Chain A
Amino acid sequence: MGLFDYFHASRKSSDVAKERLSILIARDHFHRNQPSFLSALQNELLEVIKKYVDIDQDDVTVSLDREEDCEILELNIALPEKGRYK
């Protein structure tokens, strides 16, 4: 599908808007409900890992989930292809 076709897609633009908005707001709420130390933790982790591996800001994600009586801290570190190890 060429770029031109996107503007002529049969879906109503209001439906597209609603879908994009729902996703956006769910993501905003997720970030809003995260404790504030998480972004600091994420940055410090990034600094440490950067000493050894060449990674970007987006390669480290930290999130906190609550389940009844326990909290789960989830760390996700995406490592680059072999060539970029220091």
Chain B
Amino acid sequence: MTRIIVVTSGKGGVGKTTTSAAFATGLALQGYKTAVIDFDVGLRNLDLIMGCERRVVYDFVNVINQEASLNQALIRDKRIDNLFILPASQTREKEALTMEGVETVLNELAETFDYIVCDSPAGIEHGAYMAMYFADEAIVVTNPEISSVRDSDRILGLLGSKTKRIIENRTPVKEHLLLTRYSPERVKNGEMLSVKDIQEILSIPLIGVIPESQSVLTASNQGIPIIVNKNSKAGLAYNDSIGRFLGEDIEFRFIDARKDSIFGKLFRGR
């Protein structure tokens, strides 16, 4: 059975695309045939994070408009065989993603893929709605900041009322909280909302806490998803999240400033 995962947040710039790339890569590395789709029509950048921007010929909207076949538009990752990217269109409007078009593409992917990761645009309008509508699971990406937590709560409201699963009276979308850009040090100093604060407010299961890390920018500069960097705390934290997603019981790390200082010596803040 194919599982469709939406990576969503409401607020922009919180780490959705970074997370989509990390999750798709992580699942593929675990042996699952995975496709990752950029739903951010007009602001495509998943291809940059995945490092395949120079191989984009056709895009998601071309496939929806039947200007190209799905196989022509899918880009196979150059490092991982069972990982494919479907880029967004850079020139069209968000409305080019029709409900029927998106459903047709997802159905065709579902014939051969284990996981389909949908990288949602920011906002709560059409594009975000299309990205979440067909989802089985949702990764709600949240930063430890008031506006981001509030937007995540709004997204949870939509996931619980406007998705296909709800409309068809099936079990609701399975929701996971992913905290990103977390600074244990600032939490310790009382300058940042803690994991516990945010979990209390949003009350959905926590799948991961990704620390604020300079290696994320380096990874994006190079077009290599952060999850493959085993020397980076952020990379390791994404790896742990994949394990939890697949049902493993993994202890949280990089969330306690005191414990981290020991660990930090080994990693020198990378």
- B191 neighbours in A (Cβ, 8 Å): 12-14
- A25 neighbours in B (Cβ, 8 Å): 149-150, 153, 201
Q: A12-B191, A28-B150 are in contact. List 10 more A-B contacts (CB 8 A).
A: A13-B191, A14-B192, A14-B193, A14-B194, A15-B190, A17-B145, A21-B149, A21-B150, A22-B201, A24-B150
- B154 neighbours in A (Cβ, 8 Å): 28
Residues B187 and A14 in contact, CB atoms below 8 Å apart:
yes
User: CA–CA, A20 to B153, complex, Å?
Assistant: 14
User: CA–CA, A32 to B193, complex, Å?
Assistant: 25
User: CA–CA, A35 to B21, complex, Å?
Assistant: 39
Residues A14 and B150 in contact, CB atoms below 8 Å apart:
no
Chain A count of residues within 8 A CB distance of the other chain: 13
Nearest 5 interchain pairs by C-beta = A12-B190, A18-B197, A14-B190, A21-B146, A25-B153
Task: Give chain B nearest CB distance to A5 CB in angstroms.
Answer: 18
Looking across the interface, which residue of chain A has its beta carbon closest to that of B152?
A: A25
Task: Give chain A nearest CB distance to B38 CB in angstroms.
Answer: 29
User: CA–CA, A24 to B149, complex, Å?
Assistant: 10
Taking a contact as CB atoms closer than 8 A, the residue among B146, B157, B187, B190 that contacts A20 in the complex is B146
A-B contact pairs, 27 of them (CB 8 A): A12-B191, A13-B190, A14-B187, A14-B190, A14-B192, A14-B193, A14-B197, A15-B190, A17-B145, A17-B146, A18-B193, A21-B146, A21-B149, A21-B150, A21-B193, A21-B197, A21-B201, A22-B201, A24-B146, A24-B150, A25-B149, A25-B153, A28-B150, A28-B153, A28-B154, A28-B157, A32-B157
Number of A-B contacts (CB under 8 A): 38
User: CA–CA, A12 to B194, complex, Å?
Assistant: 12
Interface residues of A (CB under 8 A from B): 12-15, 17-18, 20-22, 24-25, 28, 32
- A15 neighbours in B (Cβ, 8 Å): 190
User: CA–CA, A12 to B186, complex, Å?
Assistant: 11
- A21 neighbours in B (Cβ, 8 Å): 146, 149-150, 193, 197, 201
- B194 neighbours in A (Cβ, 8 Å): 14
Looking across the interface, which residue of chain A has its beta carbon closest to that of B150?
A: A24
User: CA–CA, A24 to B157, complex, Å?
Assistant: 14
Task: Give chain B nearest CB distance to A9 CB in angstroms.
Answer: 12
Task: Give chain B nearest CB distance to A27 CB in angstroms.
Answer: 10
- B197 neighbours in A (Cβ, 8 Å): 14, 17-18, 21
- B150 neighbours in A (Cβ, 8 Å): 21, 24-25, 28
Looking across the interface, which residue of chain A has its beta carbon closest to that of B149?
A: A21
- B145 neighbours in A (Cβ, 8 Å): 17
- A20 neighbours in B (Cβ, 8 Å): 146
- B149 neighbours in A (Cβ, 8 Å): 21, 25
